[in-house]
Amino acid sequence: MHILVVEDEPHLAELVRAHLSKIPFAVDLAASVDEGTALLRASRYDAVVLDRGLPDGDGIELLRLLRAKGDMTPVLAATARDQLTDRIHGLDLGMDDYMVKPYDLGELTARLRALLRRSGKALGALLNVGNIALDTVQGSAEVAGKPVTLARRQLMLLETLMRSAGRVVSRPAIEASLYRIDDLIDSNALEANVSRLRRILQDSGATVSISTVRGVGYMLAEDKKP
């Protein structure tokens, strides 16, 4: 899951990012309406957490921008303004939920999960290929019903490959879903993550394999039964 957090208070932004990264969600940060606009044009997100009081305007502008182009990405507004009129205004514009600052990080997570479930992302929340089951909202994986411990990157890699099981996923597409925009992408990092994931799946008796398609990318597919 790829989340955009728009928040101009650096300490809070980092706290939210650190918290959501553990779930694991990939989080991009924007500190202004301008930065948020640029990121929303460049990437697709599964949900947006929006601060309203930004240095260059009201974060609600970003919500307006999304909805104007028919983009129904769930938006949760976090705001210091708890006046009823502000909330009604936001809800009228298509805001999905709101929290009043200061908010609890656990509550933020719970509300985000609820939004992702409601938005139909739920349809793809539980992925199954072969004997692997992946809960993309909880960030947990099982092979043949037994929990498997995976690092955040490996979980995201597995999710990306499982969503396109049986099809080749290009390296750039994998990298886009795996790394935040501000992470440096080292081409060896992806290979290393794929090798590690392969080994873990093999060791846990998974009935799927990840094959390398030279010069293109990777494909996860269920092993043919003998």
Phi/psi class of residue 71: alpha, beta or left (left: φ > 0; alpha: ψ in -120 to 50)? Answer: beta
Closest to Ca ion by CB, 53 or 139: 53
Distance CA 47, CA 70 (A): 15
Among 19, 21, 43, 53, binds Ca ion (CB under 5 A): 53
Distance of closest approach, residue 223 Cβ to Ca ion, in angstroms: 51
Site residues for Ca ion, 5-44, by CB under 5 A, read: 8
Residue 73 contacts residue 96 (beta carbons within 8 Å): no
Distance of closest approach, residue 78 Cβ to Ca ion, in angstroms: 9
Near Ca ion by CB under 5 A, which window of 20-28, 36-44, 52-60, 103-111?
Answer: 52-60
Closest to Ca ion by CB, 53 or 57: 53
Site string for Ca ion, 195-214 (x = CB under 5 A): --------------------
Closest to Ca ion by CB, 16 or 161: 16
Angle, helices 10-21 vs 105-118, to 10°: value is 60
Residue 4 contacts residue 48 (beta carbons within 8 Å): yes
Backbone angles phi, psi at 97, to 5 degrees: -160, 165
Taking CB under 5 A as the rule, does residue 159 contact Ca ion? no
Closest to Ca ion by CB, 17 or 113: 17
Among the listed residues 44, 8, 46, the one whose alpha carbon sits nearest the alpha carbon of residue 29: 8
Among 28, 46, 51, 97, binds Ca ion (CB under 5 A): 51
Residue 62 contacts residue 33 (beta carbons within 8 Å): yes
Q: Kindly determine how many residues on this chain lie close enough to bind Ca ion according to the rule CB under 5 A.
A: 3
Distance CA 10, CA 3 (A): 17
Taking CB under 5 A as the rule, does residue 57 contact Ca ion? no
Q: Interface with Ca ion by CB under 5 A: which residues?
A: 8, 51, 53
